[in-house]
Amino acid sequence: MNTLRIGLVSISDRASSGVYQDKGIPALEAWLQRALTTPFTLETRLIPDEQPMIEQTLCELVDETGCHLVLTTGGTGPARRDVTPDATLAIADREMPGFGEQMRQISLHFVPTAILSRQVGAIRKQALILNLPGQPKSIQETLEGVKDEQGKVVVAGIFASVPYCVQLLDGPYIETAADVVAAFRPKSAIRQSND
């Protein structure tokens, strides 16, 4: 059985030097525990906003650790030190522009400054790499989407497309808790569960 391996990378000068507690990785871990019904293992890294180090970390998680999905948090704005998207694209085989477009679309429902985000989605070998925002609240919104008062999804979160993308990259079959985020795939790609 091919176990789902997920890399989590928090990119922050201050958190990596101990100035304050990293909130990105704990927020992502907690969300994944709620959202995924498929077993998974995590590889976590907390690093500064240094492009060579970000590139090296992403390559290590994909090439050596064999992650199927890598989620980064932080470093996606217009500031000079925000180089996460640049590092991601530098090591990518292909860009997946729809992810960045959808992340900004979701965030625009909450803040007008969402247009300043440079978040990207990309593929390296067998892995999907996604740049998420730095704030735990924004991370959750981006992954789950915009919901109305009844909890109905108004704008799809990006994670709805992640399981099918990983499947297309010959990764493990990922199932999610529909009340958190419903995975979408064409009928022909849906596997019946054995239980």
Domain boundaries, the chain: 4-189
Q: What is the pLDDT of residues 45-68, one digit of tens each?
A: 999 999 999 999 999 999 999 999
Pairing of strands 121-124, 94-95: antiparallel
pTM more than 0.75:
yes
CATH class held by domain 4-189: alpha beta
Alpha helices in 36-181 (DSSP H): 51-59, 84-91, 97-107, 136-144, 162-168
CA distance 102 to 169: 20
Of 15-24, 62-71, 91-100, 186-195, the range with the lowest mean pLDDT is: 186-195
Q: What is the pLDDT of residues 117-140, one digit of tens each?
A: 999 999 999 999 999 999 999 999
